[in-house]
Each structure stands twice: as structure tokens, then as C-alpha cells.
Homo-oligomer: A and B are copies of this chain.
Amino acid sequence: MRRILYLGPEGTFTEQAARTLVSRVYPDATVGAAQAVLSVAAGPDADLVLAPAVTVRAAMVEVSAGRAEAVVAPVENSVEGSVPATLDALVDADPVVAVAETVLPVRFSVLAAPGTTPERVRTVATHPHAAAQVREWLARELPDAVVVSATSTAAAAVEVLAGRADAAVTAPLAAERYALDVLASDVADVRDAVTSFRLLRSPGRVPEPTGVDRTSLVVTVDDRIGTLADLLTELATRGVNLTRIESRPTRDRLGRYRFFLDLDGHVAERRVADAMAALRRRSQEVRFLGSFPRARIAGRAVAAEISPPDAYSDAAFAEAAAWVQSLQEGSRA
């Protein structure tokens, strides 16, 4: 029985993402749930146990030590931006690589004790990030309610169970976990807000290319005028499209920078492999964070897809390499 850890607590968007990702990556496994990282109490027949972890970093340590199979962590929110704790752990901890991603719409449920009517709600508990994303809804629908802060959306549900708040703004999954009524669902000020999550494992076999893949890298370089332009030109000249970039100062050394890059394509494709080799030559360090199928929301691509021109196909790379080799061997001119 292997453990899959997710950033806890239970009943949050990350647990929801973990369920989706596990069913996709391990389609034949029977899956149980545990209450805590060290618990092994699940169905005795389960192949996999889903368990919450306190931090992404702690979960990655469990994976690197061989005590857990994988970690599910949030990577980026379209409103709040990247999740720095995940990014930093990806760089500082022993290497783990993503093998799958999923994107969840950020739509909240509002839960209350059975029988509660909206008119009777005076206090609403939730996490400050969630509060920021439903502020307009609360002002419109529950104008008399005061928002009280909880450490997570799941903790907010517990506040309601304990009688310390009248309602909670939570992930939809919390309605399954807690004996509360759903006052409202599908609640969000920004309709298209999404959060992306990845399933991370110790380095091993890379998922097969699907034709619509993403490759994620961290590149560390010394600060020099034009360094980044040079690196991105290595991608562009090979037809590799960049879908996300973020610079983060390194903590260890002033004047050394780190870039988180997401690319369209798979390390098994020659244009991507060739570009990565060039980045490797031109930087202090390149850490491979995985090649995996790009997530879609309800069938549509999350970002526009751009196919590389024919000049960048595997066949074109192979033909060109064979031509150069034939010149080197003197077999043609």
C-alpha cells in the first residue's frame, strides 16, 4: 500500500485535485483515504492511500525518502499568481518531477448548519485568500455577515460545526466531508479563476508524449545583460513556445537569478531536447521539473496551442543531423 500525499488539510481544493490526478495516473488502483500523514488506516485492500501533509516541502521529503509514492501540490492560481512555497520546495528539496497536472475552477460552496437560512447568517468563516475571491458575492448576498478568518477553508467548516461561525466558504469537497448544508455553490467573483495542481514523483520514467504536453524547468543563471534574451532565443530558434516565466531571486547569492519556465512540448521531442541541452550549456543549473500532458478544462485547452512549423519536427531534426554526419564522414558533400 503506497501513500499519495497532498497539501492538507482534508476537504480543500488540493484534495479534490489529488483525487482527479490519482484516478488519471493510477487508473487501475483501489484508493483509500487516511486522516493524517503517518496514518495507514485505510481500507485494508487499498493499493493507494490519499493522506494530507502539513507542507509541500515535508511531503516531498517523504517521497524522496521512499516513504510516499507522490505529492499533489498547487502550482499556480490565475488570480493569486504562483504558489511560492511549492516553487521554492521544487528547487531546494531533492528532485521530484511532475507526471500529471490538472486545473480546477475556483468556485466555492457556502456551508451552514442544517436548517440555517441566509437571513440568520451573521458570521462567515473562511481562509483570507478565499475571502478575497468572494468579497463581492458576500457583500451582495450576505450583506449583514462579518467575515472571520480561518487557517483553511476546511478549518472554516469545522468552525461552523463547533458553533463558532454561522457559515463557511469552502471547497465543494467540504460538503462531502462535513455534516453541513449547502447554502450556495458555484460562488466566485472572478468567473474564470482557476488553480493548477501537479502530481510529483521521484525521477523515473517520463510519461509518454501525447502531442499536447508541457515541460517545466528551473534555470539558474548569473546576472549579466542579455542572459535571459539569449536563453529564450535558444527556445525560439527551435520553435519552442514559452507559456509561463517568472524570475525569483536566489536566496544564497546576490546577483544570481532563477527562472521558472513552462514550455509547450515534451522532452522526448527533439526540438525540446535540443533546446534544453543548449540551456544546460549556457546556465549554472537547469532542473527538470517534468514533461506531462497539458491540463484542459472541460475539453478546452487552458492556453492556446501553437504547433511548431515543419522545420522543427523530429523528422526535420533527424534528417538534418544525418546530413551533418554524412558530411563529417565524407560520404557526401
User: CB of A217 within 8 A of chain B?
Assistant: no
Contacts of A308 in B (CB 8 A): 225
Q: Are A229 and B225 touching (Cβ within 8 A)?
A: no
Nearest chain B CB to A133 CB, angstrom units: 11
Tell me whether A255 and B304 are in contact in the complex, defined as CB-CB below 8 angstroms, given that A236-B230, A244-B247 are known contacts. yes
Q: Which of A259-309 contact B (CB under 8 A)?
A: 259, 303-304, 306, 308
Cβ of A23 < 8 Å from any Cβ of B?
A: no
Q: A326 at interface (Cβ–Cβ under 8 A)? A: no
Distance of A150 Cα from B151 Cα, bound (Å): 9
Interface status of A210 (Cβ within 8 A of chain B)? no
Beyond known contacts A232-B232, A245-B259: 14 more, CB 8 A cutoff? A81-B84, A81-B248, A128-B151, A190-B251, A223-B241, A226-B232, A228-B232, A228-B245, A230-B236, A233-B233, A245-B246, A245-B247, A249-B303, A255-B304
Cα of A319 to Cα of B254 in the assembled complex, Å: 35
Number of interface residues of A (CB under 8 A): 47
In the complex the two chains form, what is the Cα distance from A235 to B226 in whole Å? 7
* B224/A242 in contact, CB under 8 A: no
Tell me whether B226 and A229 are in contact (CB under 8 A): no
- The complex is assembled from copies of this chain, and their number is 2
Q: What residues on B are CB-neighbors of A39 within 8 Å?
A: none
Instruction: Flag if B254 contacts A303 (CB, 8 Å).
Output: yes
Q: How far is the CA of A303 from the CA of B240 in the complex (A)?
A: 30
Q: Could you write out 26 A-B pairs with CB less than 8 Å apart?
A: A78-B249, A79-B84, A80-B84, A81-B81, A81-B87, A81-B246, A127-B128, A128-B128, A190-B251, A223-B306, A224-B306, A225-B239, A225-B241, A225-B306, A226-B232, A226-B233, A226-B235, A226-B237, A230-B236, A242-B247, A244-B247, A245-B259, A246-B246, A249-B303, A254-B303, A255-B304
A64 at the interface (CB under 8 A from B): no
Q: Which of B240, B248, B254 contacts A225 (CB 8 A)?
A: B240
